[in-house]
Structure 1
């Protein structure tokens, strides 16, 4: 599974972000590993230099062989919380969509 991480200019894209994204995806989506070809992760700070709650936004888009892209997003106080929340939501989206295909 290929992971592509995109950030805006207000979110630091460093090794710790990459590690956290990969860890969150592994814990939430590991069982779909053979079905997912690529995941795109988009992280941005909605308020940029201003302070405020729930201003970090993460959108994850999973690409699966033969299916349309599936997305999930999360707003949180921190980038890590937004990434973790989006990964958990994407897990539920995939559970639901792939569960329908087997019934």
Structure 2
């Protein structure tokens, strides 16, 4: 999974910040590593440097393989809380999305060529064979 970190002009996008955000995202979303191609993190200061409640915003967009992107946003009084809150929201959203996909796959009817369909066909052939054997022996 590739992680990109972007910040606006009011947040200094230092190497330390990028490293910290990347490490946080990577450690908390590592179980989705095989399902995600890229995670994009946007950091924004809504009040442009002035103090204010919930003026730091973190938006994270995750791109699952073969699916539409998933995006979450979290606002908080500090960048730390905004990033942690957004990661938690994304973790929940991805767990929900991948859980739904697993349930759909488990409940999907078997198609021709799949193991269950082959077993079903084998059972029918075996029943036909046994019925023919009974007719011949009678």
Q: Same fold (TM over 0.5)?
A: yes
8 Å contact kept, 2:4–2:22: no
Q: Which residue of 2 aligns with 1:2?
A: 2
Q: CA deviation at 1:84?
A: 1.2
Of Structure 1 and Structure 2, the greater helix share is in 2
Q: Gapped runs of 5+ residues in structure 1?
A: none
Q: Which residue of 2 aligns with 1:61?
A: 61
Give the Cα–Cα distance (whole angstroms) in 2 for the partners of residues 59 and 8 of structure 1. 12
Tell me the TM-score normalised to structure 2 length: 0.72
Give the Cα–Cα distance (whole angstroms) in 2 for the partners of residues 67 and 73 of structure 1. 19
Give the Cα–Cα distance (whole angstroms) in 1 for the partners of residues 80 and 35 of structure 2. 25
8 Å contact kept, 1:20–1:80: no
Give the Cα–Cα distance (whole angstroms) in 2 for the partners of residues 43 and 52 of structure 1. 16
State the 4+ residue runs in structure 1 displaced beyond 6 angstroms: none
Give the Cα–Cα distance (whole angstroms) in 1 for the partners of residues 56 and 12 of structure 2. 12
Of Structure 1 and Structure 2, the greater strand share is in 1
> How many residues are paired up?
103
Tell me the TM-score normalised to structure 1 length: 0.94
Give the Cα–Cα distance (whole angstroms) in 1 for the partners of residues 79 and 61 of structure 2. 17
1:46 pairs with 2:46: yes
Q: Gapped runs of 5+ residues in structure 2?
A: 104-138
Give the Cα–Cα distance (whole angstroms) in 1 for the partners of residues 16 and 77 of structure 2. 17
Q: Which residue of 1 aligns with 2:100?
A: 100
Q: CA deviation at 1:23?
A: 2.1
Query: What is the root-mean-square deviation in Å for CA atoms of aligned residues?
Result: 1.0
Q: Which residue of 1 aligns with 2:34?
A: 34
